[in-house]
Amino acid sequence: MKIVISSNTSKPIYEQITVQIKSMIMNGYLQAGDAIPSMRTLAKTLRVSVTTVKKSYEDLQRDGFIETTVGRGSFVSVINKDLVKEEQNKAMEDYIVKFIEIAKLNGESLEDIIDLVKAIYMEV
């Protein structure tokens, strides 16, 4: 399992971990039932604090991607990937619609909006 931590970004480390593990689950690299590294192992590998990894694993568990049992470790949950994708798409469209509605209300042109999108795309 390869995770890359970047410090050039404003995104917190635990979110970088979360996002990359989510990706691996969603694209099938990690399958339901697969073990993922223990918090301590991953923390050592990435040279980050255990607390940071813990926060990421907690978020993943809360969102149903992994299950963590004291003494056993963490495992990929059985999830319906299509359902997750669908929910994400719906959420994404919600966000974009709200964003564009406000932008229009503020009198921003399509060009302004696209510039803004490009700028944010580079940042996040």
Cβ-based nearer residue to its own copies, 5 or 97: 97
Pair type for strands 66-69 and 35-36: unpaired
- Residues near its own copies (CB under 8 A), total: 33
Beta bridge partners of 35: 75
Q: Structure tokens of 77?
A: 């949950």
Per rule CB under 8 A, is residue 106 in the interface with its own copies?
A: yes
Q: Tell me, what amino acid is at 106?
A: N
Number of residues that bind DNA (CB under 7 A): 24
Q: Does 50 bind DNA (CB under 7 A)?
A: yes
CB 69 within 8 A of CB 110: no
The yes or no reply on residue 50 touching its own copies (CB under 8 A) is no
* Distance in angstroms (rounded) separating the CA atoms of residues 45 and 124: 24
Q: Which is nearer to its own copies, 29 or 41 (CB)?
A: 29
Q: Rg for the chain (alpha carbons), in Å?
A: 18
Three-state SS at 35: strand
Interface ranges with DNA (CB under 7 A): 12-15, 38-41, 48-52, 54-55, 57-58, 68-74
Q: Which residues contribute to the site for its own copies (CB under 8 A)? A: 19, 22-23, 26-27, 85, 88-89, 91-93, 95-107, 110, 113-114, 116-118, 120-121, 124
